[in-house]
Amino acid sequence: MSLPLIKLENVSFSYPESEGGDNSFAVKNLSLEINEGEFVAILGHNGSGKSTTAKLINMILAPNSGKIFVDGKDITHKDMSEDDVFEVRKKVGMVFQNPDNQIVATVVEEDVAFGPENLGVPSDEIRKRVDEALEIVNMSEYARHAPHRLSGGQKQRVAIAGTIAMKPRCIIFDESTAMLDPIGRKEVMNTILRLNKEEKITVVLITHYMNEAVLADRVVVMKSGELYLDGTPSQVFSEPEKLWQAGLEVPQSVELMHRLNTELGTKIPLGVYDFDTVAELIKNNI
Amino acid sequence: MSIIELKNVSFWYGRKTPYEIKALDDISLEIEENSITGLIGHTGSGKSTLVQMLNGILKPDSGTVIVDGQDIWAKPREIGKVRFKVGMVMQYPEYQLFAETVREDIAYGPKNMGLEAEEIEARVSRSIAFCGLTPEILEKSPFDLSGGQKRRVALAGIMAMEPKILVLDEPAAGLDPKGRREILSGIRKYSEESGTSVIIVSHSMEDMAMYCDRVVVMSHARVLANGTCEEVFSNHKMLFDAGLDVPEITSIVLAMRKAGLDIPENIYTVDGAFSALKSLYGKGGQN
């Protein structure tokens, strides 16, 4: 059994400006392991600690207590040097919500090259990485374009390429589809799936969209800074009441099957299925 | 009765330059009074350009925009007045909060309208109630609030101006499911109780189906459809062609029909699907 790529042990964090009281913890006593190659979705209400957790893993924030390991290394250790921090961010990349805040250059390929340049990668290697990264996100034909003329989904894919070019082992997407239209969201989700399945990059996807979470291998639900549910999408979404209590919702298919079960007495096994399977299950049980 | 009427409105960005883009192509459209209208369309379809026509942020290159019975460009110098009539809540409006306290921020609009202090106070109280906020929040700094609270404060600031028409661009973007429901049902309640006509721009077909009375579909600078939720969401092909989707529940209903269940196809909410299944099969109909 290999080591988990990311491991949190009893991690707590409170923002300095919040005063006293137990409620002030943004993340409370959180223990979580993410294995190499996994695709984990993190769900939770606003303020549940999702984004704080991402920032802790990426060393943007440091926990008040508890330990965090990335690739076996204790990143909460007091002797972490600046180079060590760099090393962690190279392993765990992040893509944020607003593509406009993440693009720095005036030409797509220069933007993608920005990360590896800062890592001191030799220039012929940078060329190779940029081309590969744009290929993976399906944006090669836009290499010489100006980012500000691209659509939201395209910009977000450029931001992803910039992260890939740093060769991370894991990418954390913090609501990276929230500002996109349905087509843009599909483009980005397809890219994320490809990164995970083909490029074998570990993916942590923070989202409010249940239909994105169902695509993950595993769903982690946070509530008020704590770990609330952890399982496969089918396991997590087969408990609608628990999700509703956490201020979340279930896919409409699950909601319908749940209502049929509770109000019409059908016994449809709840879970996450494609539309045709849902239809068959309802047909056979009603 | 229509509260807004667009007659043959066209608009270009960068007209007569090599970058000319036609953003609105001969649009004629009526928006019904006292209703909630959803405006959907892919990125670049012209939605944002269209809503910016409604309060005179943009001026049509040709055609007429009539708001509440008046051609808003009849007297171009008085275009500012239409902004008190048509309240506009942009995307991520919380970035526009600026005052030292929530009270001052919400009162800013009404103050600029030249209202009496008492009236302003009454409006501030009413609008926070609609947004699900309590009076304690009024003395706080808007910058100490959570994202969801900031959004509500920004919305309350526009509601306090009591516009006849309220236009909201993705009011629930970035909120969690519970926050989405609260803010959208708050808008619904506000519209019903105050008689305000509301236009909501959104990418969520599910939200549109749940909270709107009518839906306008835009694609490639034109209006493809303008009808009730039922009329629009039952026209699956048109929606797919416009690069949009139907609500998830509609896809499931279509799959059930394919599987041989006798369920009508014009269903767009979970409630609707449940009721249809209940009346068809609930009393031991098939098995």
Q: What pLDDT is recorded for position A16?
A: 79
Q: Are A169 and A154 in contact (CB under 8 A)?
A: no
**Which percentage of chain A shows pLDDT scores above 70?**
97
CA–CA dist B223, B38 (Å, integer): 13
Nearest CA distance, B63 vs chain A (angstrom)? 28
Q: Are A189 and A177 in contact (CB under 8 A)?
A: yes
Delimit the domains of chain B by residue range: 2-233, 247-287
Is position A177 within any domain? Answer: yes
Contacts of B83 (CB under 8 A, 6+ apart): B55, B56
Question: pLDDT per residue over A138-173, tens digit each?
Answer: 999 999 999 988 888 899 999 999 999 999 999 999
CATH of the domain at A105: 3.40.50.300
- Which of chain B's residues have a Cβ under 8 Å away from the Cβ of A24? none
Nearest to B44 by CA among B269, B213, B203, B229: B203
Q: Is the ipTM of this complex over 0.90?
A: no
Is position A280 within any domain? Answer: no
CA–CA dist B238, A88 (Å, integer): 48
Give the nearest chain B residue to A279 (CA atoms): B256
Is position A120 within any domain? Answer: yes
Q: Is the pLDDT of residue B224 over 90?
A: yes
Is position A278 within any domain? Answer: no
Q: Is the pLDDT of residue A37 over 80?
A: yes
Report, as an integer, the average pLDDT of B35-47. Answer: 91
Q: What pLDDT is recorded for position B287?
A: 44
A182 part of contact set with chain B, CB < 8 Å: yes
Verify whether the Cβ–Cβ distance B173 to A44 is below 8 Å: no
CA–CA dist B55, B86 (Å, integer): 6
Report, as an integer, the average pLDDT of B193-220. Answer: 94
Q: What pLDDT is recorded for position B44?
A: 81
- Which of chain A's residues have a Cβ under 8 Å away from the Cβ of B176? 44-46, 48, 208, 247-248
Verify whether the Cβ–Cβ distance A179 to B278 is below 8 Å: no
Nearest CA distance, A121 vs chain B (angstrom)? 36
Q: Which of A44, A263, A278 sits opposite B255 (nearest CB)?
A: A278
Q: What pLDDT is recorded for position A217?
A: 96
Mutate to test the interface with A, among B43, B201, B268 (most CBs of A within 10 A): B43
Is position A260 within any domain? Answer: no
Helices (H), chain B: 47-54, 79-85, 102-112, 117-130, 147-159, 177-194, 205-211, 229-233, 236-241, 248-258, 270-281
| Stretch 121-140 of chain A: residues touching chain B, C-beta under 8 Å | none
Helices (H), chain A: 50-57, 82-91, 108-118, 123-136, 152-164, 182-197, 210-213, 233-237, 240-245, 252-264, 275-285
Q: Is the pLDDT of residue B173 over 70?
A: yes
Domain residues for A166? 6-250
Report, as an integer, the average pLDDT of A7-23. Answer: 77
- Which of chain A's residues have a Cβ under 8 Å away from the Cβ of B282? 264
CATH class as words, domain B2-233: alpha beta
pLDDT band at residue A47 under the 50/70/90 scheme: confident
Q: Full-prediction pTM beyond 0.90? A: no
Question: pLDDT per residue over B145-163, tens digit each?
Answer: 888 889 999 999 999 999 9
- Which of chain B's residues have a Cβ under 8 Å away from the Cβ of A46? 146-148, 175-176, 179
Distances (CA, A) of B219 to B47, B151, B240: 9, 29, 11
Q: Return mean pLDDT, chain A.
A: 92
Nearest CA distance, A263 vs chain B (angstrom)? 9
A208 part of contact set with chain B, CB < 8 Å: yes
Verify whether the Cβ–Cβ distance A208 to B287 is below 8 Å: no
Question: pLDDT per residue over A226-273, tens digit each?
Answer: 999 999 999 999 999 999 999 999 999 999 999 999 999 999 999 999
Q: What pLDDT is recorded for position B283?
A: 60
- Which of chain A's residues have a Cβ under 8 Å away from the Cβ of B146? 46-47
Verify whether the Cβ–Cβ distance A46 to B179 is below 8 Å: yes
Overall domain count for chain A: 1
Is position A285 within any domain? Answer: no
Is position A266 within any domain? Answer: no
Q: Return mean pLDDT, chain B.
A: 92
